Copies of this chain bind each other. A is one copy, B any other.
């Protein structure tokens, strides 16, 4: 019935056999039959599903007042102050909006207005939101279009991926090499009479495949972009609010000396409540005002959204969730590294705190993406009541970004299950191999695997 009224372009997880979740608490979700699922996907439920402190703050403020920001309200001021305190000093002006998409669109408007330039540099496989201006700068999306046509004012830079990209871990200086690609793009744009308004990137690419850029890359990019008169926009929609463990913001992983010109926030900011924020410098905000155009957002910064945002910050602090992300994230990485030793399908393990990617490949030299295997694992984990998803340009990266209250016991469970599935998969394959080639094909089809020659050889060796 959901499909009858809901738009057909909107996809659910596990579309062949979707789950009907009726309640959730912490890192657990429950279906209509009372089955418990371990949630390793929902970075939106940042401090845990239905957190009582957040729920209470929202309910209490809803009872009192929920109106637009045409009136003064303490919540708005307090929340802006609290957010500002987590950021470098020069990032001091907040615009409150309703979604990551609204935030990134506003960031572009700020950059266009401040610089007077039009062009945007974005990364390969980037996703920045669903409104039309952001589809234009999201290769992850516009490559899905059958009639894809890249805007002439959008330039796509190499993703700073040291596993699958051109410059790998063994490169002497991948940060400089990838930043030089941005420099070259700027150079080409200038030759064609184009001018750069901004470079935009997630501080860690999420949909793009859980990519962690080499430290120092952002500083070098910022140098090139600033020289061209453009701004640096750090998209923290998926990765901010302590998830990376060592820092509150993921861009801080690049080093203390890096400060973006604009930071956008979203998903985790309201633990599911629609709120988001753009923070920038006074200079850029003044230039935007001087355009003569007022900015008004009906719901943005309303007292309920701000009360919820404040409660989320409170819980992160009180429950030391950033510390938890660091500790549990490190433990998760340890266990995953062991998995990598054991299973050749596991090509790369990368992560910061509770933002982790497991890239599956059929061949560790050629890096052939194990896309079907990845889908298979996700479906099998679902049968075990563990919710995980896959992403990246080849959909071969297991993506872990659970609620921040995720525990070491949860880590034990999910890694154990992945281990079992990987082991089981190989065993089945080996059994099949012992009969006939035809049988393998039968198996392949049944499991929705599309095993290529590389993988076939590998299985033979095991």
Q: A interface vs B, CB < 8 Å?
A: 1-2, 4-13, 18-24, 29, 41-42, 44-45, 49-50, 52, 54-55, 58-59, 62-74, 76-77, 80-81, 84, 92-95, 98-102, 105-106, 108-109, 112, 130-133, 135, 141-142, 144-147, 266-267, 271-275, 285-286, 288-289, 291-299, 301-302, 304-305
Within the complex, the shortest CB–CB distance from A151 to chain B, in Å, comes to: 12
**Judging by beta carbons under 8 Å apart, are B285 and A65 in contact?**
no
**Judging by beta carbons under 8 Å apart, are A2 and B77 in contact?**
yes
Give CA–CA (A2, B95) in the complex, Å. 12
**Judging by beta carbons under 8 Å apart, are A73 and B299 in contact?**
no
Candidates B1, B21, B142; contact of A67 at CB < 8 Å: B21
**Judging by beta carbons under 8 Å apart, are B274 and A98 in contact?**
yes
**Judging by beta carbons under 8 Å apart, are A49 and B72 in contact?**
no
Number of chain copies forming the complex: 2
Within the complex, the shortest CB–CB distance from A274 to chain B, in Å, comes to: 4
Q: List 24 A-B contacts (CB under 8 A).
A: A1-B77, A2-B77, A5-B92, A6-B95, A7-B93, A8-B93, A8-B288, A10-B295, A19-B72, A20-B71, A21-B73, A29-B67, A44-B67, A49-B67, A66-B273, A98-B274, A99-B99, A99-B297, A101-B131, A106-B130, A131-B133, A144-B294, A273-B304, A274-B299
**Judging by beta carbons under 8 Å apart, are B76 and A6 in contact?**
yes
Give CA–CA (A122, B393) in the complex, Å. 38
**Judging by beta carbons under 8 Å apart, are B62 and A94 in contact?**
no
Known: A58-B58, A274-B274. A69 touches B6 (CB 8 A): yes
Give CA–CA (A276, B54) in the complex, Å. 23
Within the complex, the shortest CB–CB distance from A4 to chain B, in Å, comes to: 8
B residues within 8 A CB of A84? 5
Residue of B nearest to A278 (CB): B7
Give CA–CA (A142, B292) in the complex, Å. 10
Give CA–CA (A273, B302) in the complex, Å. 9
Residue of B nearest to A275 (CB): B274
**Judging by beta carbons under 8 Å apart, are A67 and B298 in contact?**
no
**Judging by beta carbons under 8 Å apart, are A102 and B80 in contact?**
no
B residues within 8 A CB of A298? 44, 99-100, 266-267
**Judging by beta carbons under 8 Å apart, are A94 and B144 in contact?**
no
Looking at A1, A10, A73, A109, the one whose CB has the most chain B CB atoms below 10 A away is: A10
Give CA–CA (A301, B2) in the complex, Å. 11
What 9 pairs between A and B have smallest CB-CB spacing? A5-B80, A59-B59, A66-B272, A274-B299, A9-B295, A274-B274, A20-B72, A8-B289, A144-B293
Given A19-B71, A66-B273, A100-B298, 15 other A-B residues pairs in contact with their CB atoms under 8 A:
A5-B92, A7-B285, A8-B289, A20-B72, A21-B65, A23-B65, A41-B70, A54-B62, A58-B58, A58-B59, A59-B62, A101-B102, A131-B132, A272-B302, A274-B299
Residue of B nearest to A83 (CB): B5
B residues within 8 A CB of A22? 64-65, 73
**Judging by beta carbons under 8 Å apart, are B100 and A102 in contact?**
no
Residue of B nearest to A93 (CB): B7
Give CA–CA (A59, B74) in the complex, Å. 22
B residues within 8 A CB of A133? 131-133
Within the complex, the shortest CB–CB distance from A83 to chain B, in Å, comes to: 9
Known: A29-B67, A69-B12, A131-B133. A272 touches B299 (CB 8 A): yes
B residues within 8 A CB of A274? 98, 273-275, 299, 302, 305
**Judging by beta carbons under 8 Å apart, are B62 and A18 in contact?**
no
Residue of B nearest to A94 (CB): B5
Known: A8-B289, A13-B71, A20-B73. A130 touches B295 (CB 8 A): yes
Give CA–CA (A93, B64) in the complex, Å. 35
Give CA–CA (A84, B302) in the complex, Å. 29
Give CA–CA (A205, B17) in the complex, Å. 45
B residues within 8 A CB of A304? 272-273
Give CA–CA (A163, B100) in the complex, Å. 41
